[in-house]
């Protein structure tokens, strides 16, 4: 019985991660502007950390939300995605990264630069999340030992 409880505890996203992210987001959006407003502009100009505390709190909360999402995605999909499907999605994301780089560094169309950046950003973030998913083991064993 206790073994089953320990397994179920391991298979959940740590609740402290999203709670901390929400707290930091609220702090960065509502409290930090009040803190920076209480200091004179000269002191804010000299102290970059003090003037950027709102940005830092929001940025750290976004990172914590992303970590929570990756954790949740890995828990839901580990061992459940066929190896072939996993590789196809991985190659699509790599292709998106390559197309985004080509779009950003070509000198002819400014529109391709803008969409290239968004494609590169979305593909890179998606690839980072997808790289934390483990494909099904039986498919992988067949490919490694033909």
21: nearest Cα among 72, 75, 79: 72
CA distances from 16 to 24, 54, 64, 68, 97 (A): 12, 21, 10, 10, 33
Widest Cα–Cα separation across the chain: 70
Query: Residue 143 has what pLDDT?
Result: 57
Q: What is the pLDDT of residue 44?
A: 80
The pLDDT assigned to 67 comes to: 94
| Whole-number pLDDT of residue 7 | 47
Q: Which two tokens stand for residue 3?
A: 């073994």
CB distance 18 to 64 below 8 Å? yes
Q: pTM for the complete prediction?
A: 0.76
Tokens for 90? 């991985």
**Residues in the chain, pLDDT under 70:** 1-10, 138-146
**In degrees rounded to 5, what are phi and psi of residue 42?**
-60, -40
pLDDT at 140: 46
């Amino acid at each position: 019985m206790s073994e089953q409880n320990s397994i179920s505890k391991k298979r959940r996203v740590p609740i402290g991660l999203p709670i901390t992210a929400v707290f930091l987001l609220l702090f960065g959006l509502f409290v930090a502007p009040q803190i920076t407003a209480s200091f004179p502009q000269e002191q804010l100009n000299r102290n970059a950390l003090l003037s950027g505390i709102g940005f830092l709190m929001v940025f750290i909360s976004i990172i914590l939300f992303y970590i929570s999402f990756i954790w949740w995605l890995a828990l839901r999909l580990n061992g459940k995605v066929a190896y072939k499907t996993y590789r196809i999605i991985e190659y699509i994301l790599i292709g998106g990264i390559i197309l985004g780089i080509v779009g950003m560094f070509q000198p002819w169309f400014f529109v391709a630069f803008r969409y290239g950046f968004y494609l590169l950003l979305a593909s890179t973030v998606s690839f980072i999340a997808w790289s934390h998913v483990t494909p099904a083991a039986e498919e992988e064993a067949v490919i490694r030992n033909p």
